[in-house]
Amino acid sequence: MLQPMTLMGFDLEGQVIRPPAEAESLLLQATLGCSHNRCAFCPAYKGKRFGFKDPQRLRQAMDHAARHMPLLRRVFLCDGDALILPQPRLEALLEDIRIHLPQVTRINAYANAKALARKSDADLRRLRELGLNTVYLGLESGSDAVLAAMDKWGDVAQHLRQAERARQAGLKLSVTVLLGLAGLGGPGSAAEIHARETGRALTRMNPEQAAALALMVAPGTPLHERTQRGEFTPQDDHGLLQELLWLLEETDLRGGLFFSNHASNPLRLRLRLPRDKEAGLLAVRQALAGEAPLVPQEYRRL
């Protein structure tokens, strides 16, 4: 659910996405698509066959960047789960970045729980030693029922475990969650359970950064088909705001950033928790009361 925006990369195949924070990073497409690629809500890699990018092509991209981007300091490894690469191949890639782009000071990557689970603790520590800094982990929901309904790999306990292993290895965590993933509902519904349990899961993970996106049902996804059949009803703006309130009430990061400023969100917040929590709650309550403007629908996108 992250937008392509402006891409800094070479020899990129198909749709390539990155987190908004990686706008100034060179995109190295280490893998093609996503090894899981069954999440009902995700349109990103439908129609793209999963595979590994030829290391020689990656070196050529690095050489091109070295010639034309002398001020480059950041690299982002994509597609959907770059850490699924076999360990020797991933270590070689990080070593190649050191050789071909010695000025780079930060290497970040998408890393789902499935990919992290395949790495040993020693593997993760070695990746950190070789320069991997932050991994972007899609939790999506703290509700096992919602994760199962959306065909997400793993349950909440597995996501918590893999996040903890990444932290123990010295990696920073950026975790994304999805408002509206339980569908339309108010107080006492599955939507409230989803939001509150997601906040509690974020509290347990305590990432350096957490981002709440708003679900947008994309054509071509299983969730869109369910919606067309009347099996899923998307949350409305009032419900998304109420979920954001419930989520924030349960989220107690210890010095981390909390965002709801993705282009999909009706209300955009940037908070440092716990310092800004009360201000954030007040902003959401004002929006719920109609006392603060929302982002117009025409300006929201995946």
Dihedral, CA of residue 44, residue 50, residue 52 and residue 56, to nearest 10: -70
pLDDT in tens, 24-70: 999 999 999 999 999 999 998 887 889 999 999 999 999 999 999 98
Q: Is residue 284 part of a domain?
A: yes
Residue 203 near residue 209 (C-beta atoms within 8 A): no
Structural domains in the chain (count): 1
Residue 270 near residue 257 (C-beta atoms within 8 A): yes
Single out the residue of 43, 42, 38, 48 nearest to residue 12, CA to CA.
48
Give 263's pLDDT tier (boundaries 50, 70, 90): confident
Range of the domain at 74: 20-299
pLDDT of res. 228: 98
Single out the residue of 148, 267, 146, 263 nearest to residue 216, CA to CA.
263
71 Cβ contact partners less than 8 Å away, ≥ 6 residues apart: 103
Q: Is residue 68 part of a domain?
A: yes
Cα angle 123, 129, 130; round to 5: 90
Looking at the predicted structure, is the pLDDT value of residue 292 above 50?
yes
For strand 51-52 and strand 31-32, is the pairing parallel, antiparallel, or unpaired? antiparallel
Give 6's pLDDT tier (boundaries 50, 70, 90): very low
Q: Is residue 32 part of a domain?
A: yes
pLDDT of res. 7: 57
Looking at the predicted structure, is the pLDDT value of residue 5 above 70?
no
Q: Is residue 132 part of a domain?
A: yes
Looking at the predicted structure, is the pLDDT value of residue 144 above 90?
yes
Q: Is residue 2 part of a domain?
A: no
For 115, the enclosing helix (H) or strand (E) is helix 113-117
Give 201's pLDDT tier (boundaries 50, 70, 90): very high
Looking at the predicted structure, is the pLDDT value of residue 193 above 70?
yes
Q: Is residue 5 part of a domain?
A: no
Q: Is residue 9 part of a domain?
A: no
Dihedral, CA of residue 4, residue 259, residue 171 and residue 91, to nearest 10: 0
Q: How many CB atoms lie within 10 A of CB 279?
A: 11
Give 299's pLDDT tier (boundaries 50, 70, 90): confident
Give 2's pLDDT tier (boundaries 50, 70, 90): very low
Q: Is residue 11 part of a domain?
A: no
3-state helix, strand, coil in the chain (%, to 5): 40, 15, 45
User: What is the chain's mean pLDDT, rounded?
Assistant: 93
Q: How many CB atoms lie within 10 A of CB 94?
A: 19
- Over residues 184-211, mean pLDDT: 98
Q: In a 3-state reduction of DSSP, which class is residue 174?
A: strand
Beta-strand runs (E) in the chain: 26-29, 31-32, 51-52, 74-78, 106-110, 132-140, 172-179, 209-214, 257-259, 270-272
pLDDT in tens, 209-257: 999 999 999 999 999 999 999 999 999 999 999 999 999 999 999 999 9
